[in-house]
Homo-oligomer: A and B are copies of this chain.
Amino acid sequence: MNLALKNRFLCFFICLTILSLFLCSVSLEAEEALVKQTKGDGNWVERWKPIEMFRWWDPAHYFEPDNKVQGVFEAEKCVTCHTVVTPGITNEWKKSTHSFAGVTCDKCHGSDHQKIEMPAPDDCAECHPEQVKDFKSEKETDNSSHARAFHANGVDEGLQGNKQQPETAGFALRNAIENKCDSCHFRHRFDAAEARQPEACSYCHNGPGHRETEYYNTSAHGAITKIDGDNWDWDKPLKVGNYRAPTCAYCHMYKGTHNTVENAVYANKGVQEEVDSKAKEFVEKRKAWLNICNDCHSTRFASAYLRDADETVKVSFAKVKEAKTIIEELQKSGRLDPMPKHLPSSPDERNRGDLGGRLNNVSVIEREFIDMNNYHTETIFPSVFHMSVNLQTNEFGTYKQDQSLARIKAEASKLGLLKVLEEKVGAKYEEYDFWKVVEFPNFLKVVK
């Protein structure tokens, strides 16, 4: 028996032993409690605790290795064993540029199995400093952004603070993009060519509030990519002449930047209420956009399109204002059912009296306003700027916004009539208990 064969046997034996350990542990694992979990962080630290998956969704803060497998392993042995244990992972790594460049398992995960690490962007930055620097520079804007998604937008504000933890797991998975590069560069291939394709963006960017996939697919840009994209060389950089039609990455990661908000993004700047086309920031953003459009379109064509789009957005926000005025009047005259003062108190007071501050347990007219403001208007606005032919008017856009406005008026009208009747007959309506006490309130209970 020669040495090489002996080594292989040894490897196989070790690997089988570990595999057995893994398989035995299936039921045990299923019983494992959250004991190793740290307490969480952010504004709501007293009120929520992280779920188990935070280990992988924010590894820099929450990941701790388990202790099942002992030993310090060379790269070759990692691969030998994991080819048996989790072949899906090693198969991909073997096809990756990492593999060809000698970036073996231990480079990212370490080699002591009991101290195994899950890489976060800072770890990736060791070899890809420019990309991570670009990515983190998103934090310098006020915009929602990938780099602020988990902590600023998720943990400290928004839904993480307003909902029960288990309900926001989907948000956390989505927003984990702040903490891990494989949200776009699918592990363990980590391929730039894949991350450049619209599908890499679309599994997160769909649905209310971020229908970018739907906008793109209903535009000529999206149609061309769907028809012809399979013939493109996605290894090419995102530069003029390399792509027939713009993709998500082409415009939003123009020339390869990993700061996705620096170019073709307004977010809510300059258009939230009304387009102020003279504002410095607006003018600069507009120029940055035109610069990208110019790769294929004349400035004349592109700037005309954008000016027309501004007008469409204006109408949309004017309708929101109309609805807002109606509901504010109801609040003042005490006709909302329920009135905010009858709702359970909330640790986040901004969320209490604000118009549409809550997503559940709120009067039906305020709930309709949330639809109108947060979803229909925020569909119309980006839909126009993504050249969607349908979504700005149909489906989730103007059509639905008009419907919400009609419903808001009809409800306001009915509440008015009921008030008149109540006063006339001397009835006094009291809010029902189901508004006051709810099993799953908008805010989080204190962590036990």
Point out residues on A near B: beta carbons under 8 Å.
Answer: 22, 25-27, 29-30, 32, 51-53, 55-56, 66, 85-89, 91-92, 159, 163-171, 173-174, 183, 186, 189, 194, 197, 199-200, 202-204, 206-209, 217-220, 222-224, 226-228, 230, 240-241, 244, 283, 286-287, 290-291, 294-301, 303-305, 307-309, 311-312, 314-316, 318-319, 321-322, 326, 337-338, 359-364, 367, 371, 383-384, 387-395, 397-399, 402-403, 405-407, 409-414, 416-418, 420-422, 424-427, 429, 431-432, 434-435, 438-440
Contact A367 B434 (CB under 8 A): no
Contact B410 A364 (CB under 8 A): yes
22 contacts between A and B (CB under 8 A): A26-B290, A26-B299, A29-B299, A30-B283, A30-B290, A52-B304, A56-B304, A86-B298, A88-B297, A89-B296, A159-B393, A166-B308, A168-B393, A169-B311, A169-B312, A169-B384, A186-B223, A203-B389, A204-B390, A315-B440, A318-B439, A417-B418
**What's the Cα separation between A154 and B390 when bound, in Å?**
14
Contact B394 A207 (CB under 8 A): yes
**Which residues on the B side are within 8 Å of A241 (C-beta)?**
87-88, 91
Interface centre among A174, A309, A337, A402 (most CB of B within 10 A): A402
Contact A27 B287 (CB under 8 A): yes
**What's the Cα separation between A208 and B399 when bound, in Å?**
9
Chain A interface, >50% SS class: helix
Contact B186 A199 (CB under 8 A): no
Interface centre among A170, A228, A294, A361 (most CB of B within 10 A): A170
Contact B170 A406 (CB under 8 A): no
Q: In the complex, which residue of chain B has the Cβ closest to the Cβ of A226?
A: B199
CB proximity of A259 to chain B, nearest CB, Å: 22
CB proximity of A12 to chain B, nearest CB, Å: 16
| Given A22-B299, A287-B26, A389-B204, CB of A170 within 8 Å of CB of B397 | yes
- Given contacts A53-B305, A170-B393, A364-B411, 13 further A-B pairs with CB under 8 A are A26-B294, A27-B283, A51-B308, A87-B296, A88-B240, A167-B316, A169-B311, A169-B392, A173-B389, A186-B224, A230-B230, A318-B439, A367-B403
CB proximity of A214 to chain B, nearest CB, Å: 9
CB proximity of A357 to chain B, nearest CB, Å: 13
Contact A362 B406 (CB under 8 A): yes
Within the complex, which residue of B200, B307, B393 is in contact with A171, where a contact is CB–CB below 8 Å? Answer: B393
CB proximity of A159 to chain B, nearest CB, Å: 8
CB proximity of A440 to chain B, nearest CB, Å: 6
**Which residues on the B side are within 8 Å of A412 (C-beta)?**
432, 434
**Which residues on the B side are within 8 Å of A439 (C-beta)?**
318-319, 321-322
**Which residues on the B side are within 8 Å of A399 (C-beta)?**
208, 359
Within the complex, which residue of B321, B402, B426 is in contact with A424, where a contact is CB–CB below 8 Å? Answer: B426
Contact B207 A391 (CB under 8 A): yes
**What's the Cα separation between A207 and B291 when bound, in Å?**
32
Contact B294 A86 (CB under 8 A): yes
**What's the Cα separation between A209 and B397 when bound, in Å?**
14
Contact B406 A360 (CB under 8 A): yes
